[in-house]
């Protein structure tokens, strides 16, 4: 049985903390943890995910608070540092599928600016990309591509 059947109860559900803790801290967590493997199973974009209240609160914190933006810019700096010495790594995308509410555009700009600056301090010539609200997908799946 796949993850879709267990989203709210059972193995790897929202409250199955023991399963989610397996391989915690390992750099390969997302390819070792059984819950991550279930979520990343084939089945179409987003087929095995569930947007939890916690997920929404995390995204809101990330974009709308100074602490969230600082943490994210530090994350982008670490990514830039990790790939700066590899010629095949030519760029950093600041955020895949950013929140799309117009009310958040000011906060998104601040987040992008802080992440951009943090990346530039590490590598002044790495390409930096972002997706704006004009390039968002209008459909919840890839059926119209």
pLDDT (0 to 100) of residue 132:
59
* pLDDT digits 0-9 by tens, 27-83: 888 889 988 888 777 766 556 666 666 677 778 888 889 999 999 999 999 999 999
Same domain flag for 33 and 59: no
Q: How many CB atoms lie within 10 A of CB 10?
A: 13
pLDDT (0 to 100) of residue 1:
46
Same domain flag for 33 and 74: no
Q: Which residue has the higher pLDDT, 118 or 88?
A: 118
At 89, the pLDDT band (50, 70, 90 cuts) reads confident
Mean pLDDT estimate for the chain: 78
At 145, the pLDDT band (50, 70, 90 cuts) reads very low
Same domain flag for 17 and 72: no
Q: Which residue has the higher pLDDT, 145 or 34?
A: 34
Rounded Cα distance between 10 and 94, Å, is 35
Same domain flag for 29 and 88: no
Q: What is the DSSP letter of 6?
A: G
Same domain flag for 22 and 68: no
Rounded Cα distance between 71 and 64, Å, is 12
Same domain flag for 64 and 120: yes
Q: Are 52 and 16 in contact (CB under 8 A)?
A: no
Q: Do the domain assignments include residue 139?
A: no
Percent helix / strand / coil, the chain, rounded to 5 = 50, 5, 45
pLDDT (0 to 100) of residue 67:
94
Q: Do the domain assignments include residue 24?
A: yes
Q: Is 45 left (phi over 0), alpha (psi -120 to 50) or beta?
A: beta
Same domain flag for 70 and 128: yes
Same domain flag for 67 and 11: no
Mean pLDDT of 101-111: 73
For residue 125, give its domain range: 53-134
Q: What is the CA radius of gyration of the chain?
A: 17
Rounded Cα distance between 119 and 125, Å, is 10
């Amino acid at each position: 049985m796949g993850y879709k059947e267990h989203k709210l109860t059972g193995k790897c559900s929202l409250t199955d903390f023991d399963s989610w803790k397996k391989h915690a801290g390992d750099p390969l967590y997302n390819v070792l943890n059984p819950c991550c493997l279930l979520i990343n199973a084939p089945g179409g974009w987003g087929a095995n995910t569930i947007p939890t209240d916690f997920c929404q609160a995390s995204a809101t914190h990330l974009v709308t608070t100074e602490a969230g933006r600082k943490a994210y810019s530090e994350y982008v700096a670490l990514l830039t540092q990790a790939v700066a010495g590899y010629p095949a790594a030519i760029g950093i995308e600041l955020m895949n599928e950013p929140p799309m509410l117009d009310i958040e555009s000011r906060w998104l700009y601040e987040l992008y600016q802080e992440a951009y600056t943090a990346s530039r301090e590490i590598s002044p010539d790495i390409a930096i990309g972002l997706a704006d609200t004009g390039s968002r997908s209008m459909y919840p799946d890839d059926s119209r591509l």
